[in-house]
Structure 1
Amino acid sequence: MIRKASALLASALAAVLAVVALPAPAHAYTPSSGPIFNNPRGNLAAKDRILTHVVRTIESTPRGSEIRIAAYSNDRPDVAEALIAAHQRGVRVQVVLNDNWTSGSTRRLVKVLGRDTNRRSFVAICAGSCRGGFGNQHMKFYLFSEAGRARDVVMVGSANLTGYGARVQWNDMYTTSNQPALRELYTKVFEQLVRDRRIAEPYIHRTVGDYENEFFPMPSMTSGHDPVLERLDAVRCATSGGAGSGGRTVIRIVMYGWVDSRGLYLAKRVADLARSGCDVRTILSAPGGRVVRNLMAGGVQVKSADLDLDDNEDTGFDETPYEVFTHQKYMTLSGTYRGAVGYQVWTGSENWSNLGLHNDEVTIRIPGRRVHREYVANFDYLWAHYTRWLDPQ
């Protein structure tokens, strides 16, 4: 009898050890810090690269953790089902969207999570700018208290939760983890979005560690106090110490919506930088004609990522007649900024337009040579393969 019990105990112990030795489940994903980019001209994995990153992070959140998402739009069943599963295993799931379009996936999410913002999980849909009134909730940020082995995860970029964005648009997403103060800042902004009430001072400018963050709207702004113009004014075209090229500061800009009177004065300032000796290239989609003319007049090299690849001028969508375009809003700099030589990247949701002043928007500045190199590699790839030269309009 003792021998039999010992055999059973040994068998049970072996079974436990076998389970422990199994590899981690597929959902035990730890989001890596740094940028990722989708490729709408690649295979399905390349198209969905950003959304797969988001979904796998959602799937890796444990019971008792928190997910907070602010996006312009969502139509992805995989995202909705991952959020529902997270909610059902005890994760606090809170989502804020704009009211431009309520998809079937969003309705499914609302049906399960509800819209009561006093509950632990909910979907809030803002009518216009959540914090400013007129405009839109246009931010795209994704917050996770815990995912895999990472804590305090913040993702910021140009990507919404849509299939259209994956298969037609170029997008980017920057992820950072183990940054509790940064997640706290974004959580405070998220809580303002949830309340869906106009606030007196919606513009926030806050540096947390290495990251400089700006949140719009800024409806009372004048051209003399435009944060983007102030950024450009802090650039000097002469540089040294390894950054830049040939003693010149190098600037690369990818911008989806560079239009309107605001777009024009920003274009004139960028053109002035080129005249002053900066090496400036831009990739645009849906640009204003005066913006293009002023950039070219200053010697800026300008290409478009709006490509009609099948010459039918109709994709079946309202957003654009093109099969592929860039939805990114980033700027890179290698050279002199604020009196120091180094490497900078700005990315987020803000277009350089009048509407950008009234929307809920976010821009994050990320310093460092490595992240700069990765964004420039994305720029160079688009420049070489998926852009065309623009004629003066």
Structure 2
Amino acid sequence: MVLIFNIESHRLLEHLIYHYLRDSGFLGLSSPWREQMRSRTNIEAVLQALAVALSAAALTACAPRSPEEEELLGEETGVVQAGISSATGTVGGKRVWAHFSNPPAFSGRDYTITDELKRLIHSTPAGGTIRGAIHSISIDGVADALLAAQTRGVSVSLVLDGKNAASTDPAVATLKKIANAKFCTNASGGGGCIGTSSAGNMHTKMFTFSQATDPSGVLYPNVSWFGSSNLTYASGPDASNNAITVYDAVTLYDGLNAHFSDMWNRRHYANNDYYDSASGRGYYLSNPADVYASPEAVGQTDTIVTRLNDVTPDANCRLRIGMAFVTTGRPELLNQVLRYRNGGCAVWMVVSGNSTDGIDMAQSVYNSLLDAGVNIRRHDKVHDKFFLVYGKYGSAYQYRVYTGSQNWSQDALNENEEIFVKLAGETGTTHPLYDGYYAHFNDSYNSGVTCTKSNYPCR
């Protein structure tokens, strides 16, 4: 029998040898196993372990990996990977690209997402239309690209959170030269366009392009871009972020433009109740993606809870959450994660923070999740707002990506303008977008600080 090993096979083999030696009593649990293997003089025992592991590896090469093996292959404490920058696939019959920033892999600043946005802007031909929602901006290159688009005959319309109006940053000064640029404010003094809360923000990060090219240079109509990245250094290229671009999807494009029009026209609703499923307001359904917009009145539904509730958790289920911060303000979200764990689903979270202040997660939430067996790590400068699910939807298992601008906080649901996006499931034999987000999650999780109840706030 001839075995051909790739890097995943090698890593799996290491784990199999380790578990055999550990379970056979040759290795203790108090020190790294590779060091103990070097010092082991019982060569016969090691060879026996190797033979058993090789047999197991041979069987593994002929059979699908179990979920447990997938986790062994995917997550290594303390490993800083090269950093995945992009992934592409087809969802709902439409071409979709994902782009990621992973600053530790690029000397602390990763321009992947902002460079892609600039490329899209530059590719829009004269006579085309660009619409954008910008929470904050300080990157001159993006502002310059938008002004250059207007100069060459592209219609450019922008809405910005109101706090930008008083900024002296050169990028903001450039955007003030855009003929159709609005800085949103409301009667309560907040910076939102739709929301009326004094604490609310226009936190959406979204652009639409009547025409733009994909990374290979093919020109498409009806292009939509959205994600977690702001257009500032601190919460853009200096932080972990993700962005999605969907090509030639007219229903999605029209829906996001309708939402843009509501922001542009500053349409306000009583009690901040913009999202209303009964009336059809504030959400936009399409084949490649469904978009749910905030704010929503306090005491109504929770758009993320409703989507999580689509899954029947079991032992095959996997939930991974990459989030800038998690507060106590959405207890039903916490209950959903606990429901997943109670149903047998494995759950991992990576949440932002720093070595001085610790994790950006309330202690009561932190303790409840750890008590339920959720694996939590803190990693500096996580600005993502996504989660991945492999789980049972109805009678079938699916791989799904959920992203957008919403943090897991009360203000994201009830006060801010946000979008939360559910991508359609990848129905083929492969799932490259899910895999791309899985790798992006691990880029932060693998080098994060492991959180325990005794080390709160996970410094």
For the residues of structure 1 that align with 2:224 and 2:162, how far apart are their CA atoms? 24
CA deviation after TM superposition for structure 1 residue 212, in Å = 1.5
Structure 1: distance between partners of 2:142 and 2:299: 36
Residue in 2 that maps onto 1:18: none
2:417: which partner in 1? 360
65-74 vs 97-106, which moves further:
97-106
Cα distance per residue 1:3-51 (max 9 Å; x no partner) = xxxxxxxxxxxxxxxxxxxxxxxxxxxxx83211012123379611000
1:176-220 Cα deviation digits (max 9, x unpaired) = 111111111000100111122413552123321131110111023
Q: In structure 1, the residue corresponding to 2:329 is in which secondary structure?
A: helix
Tell me which residue corresponds to 2:83. Answer: none
Q: 1:80 to 1:261 in 2, by over 3 A?
A: closer
Give the total of aligned pairs.
325
Is 1:50 the counterpart of 2:50? The answer is no
2:361 corresponds to 1:287: yes
State the AA in 2 paired with 1:170: S
SS of residue paired to 2:369: helix
1:8-23 equivalences in 2 (<5 Å): none
Q: 2:396 aligns with which of 340, 353, 357?
A: 340
Q: 1:170 aligns with which of 237, 240, 245?
A: 240
Aligned residue in 2 for 1:151 = 221
Q: Is 1:351 the equivalent of 2:407?
A: yes
Alignment pair present for 1:271 and 2:338 = yes
**Change in CA separation of 1:104 and 1:214 when aligned onto 2, cut-off 3 Å:** same
The counterpart of 2:449, out of the listed 377, 381, 388, is 388
> Could you tell me how far apart the structure 1 residues matched to 2:284 and 2:212 are?
25
- Note the alpha carbon deviations across 1:217-258, whole angstroms, 9 max, x for none: 102334xx22222222222123xxxxxxxx511110111121
Give the structure 1 partner of residue 162 of structure 2: 99
Task: Go from structure 1 to structure 2 and tell me whether the alpha carbon gap of 1:339 and 1:46 turns closer, same or farther (over 3 Å shift).
Answer: farther
**Structure 1 residues 252 and 107, CA gap change in structure 2 (3 angstroms):** closer
**CA 1:73–1:103 in 2, change beyond 3 Å: closer, same or farther?**
farther
Contiguous gaps of at least 5 residues in structure 2: 1-94, 186-190, 214-218, 276-281, 353-359
State the Cα distance separating 1:103 from its structure 2 match: 4.6
1:339-381 per-residue CA deviation (whole Å, 9 max, x = no partner) reads 4321111000001111012111101111212211111111122
Secondary structure of residue in 1 paired with 2:125: coil
Which residue is 2:151 aligned to?
Answer: 88
Give secondary structure in 2 for the equivalent of 1:186: helix
C-alpha distance in structure 1 between counterparts of 2:308 and 2:143, whole Å:
39
- In structure 1, the residue matched to 2:261 is 191
Once the two structures are TM-superposed, the CA of residue 92 in structure 1 deviates from its matched residue by 0.6
Question: For the residues of structure 2 that align with 1:94 and 1:66, how far apart are their CA atoms?
Answer: 8
C-alpha displacement of 1:140: 0.7
Structure 2 counterpart of 1:220, from 298, 305, 330 = 298
SS of residue matched to 1:283: strand
**Percent of pairs with identical residues:** 28
Mind listing any 5+ residue stretches in structure 1 that lack a counterpart? 1-31, 114-120, 239-246, 307-324
Distance in structure 1 (CA, Å) of the matches to 2:176 and 2:438: 42
Give SS of 1:100's match.
Answer: helix
Query: In structure 2, do the counterparts of structure 1 residues 339 and 100 end up closer, same or farther at CA, with 3 Å as the change threshold?
Result: farther
User: Which segment drifts farther, 247-256 or 335-344?
Assistant: 335-344
SS across alignment from 1:75: coil
Q: Deviations over 1:133-173 (max 9, x none)?
A: 11110111111111231221101110111122234310000
Q: What residue identity is the alignment partner of 2:121?
A: I
- Mapped pair 1:304 → 2:372: no
Provide the TM-score with structure 2 as the length reference: 0.67
Aligned in 2, Cα 1:78/1:292: closer, same or farther, shift over 3 Å? same
Q: CA RMSD in A?
A: 1.9
1:74–1:103: 8 Å Cα contact kept in structure 2?
Answer: no
Instruction: State yes or no: 1:257 paired with 2:312.
Output: no
| Residue in 2 that maps onto 1:372 | 434
CA contact (8 A) 2:138 2:172 kept: no
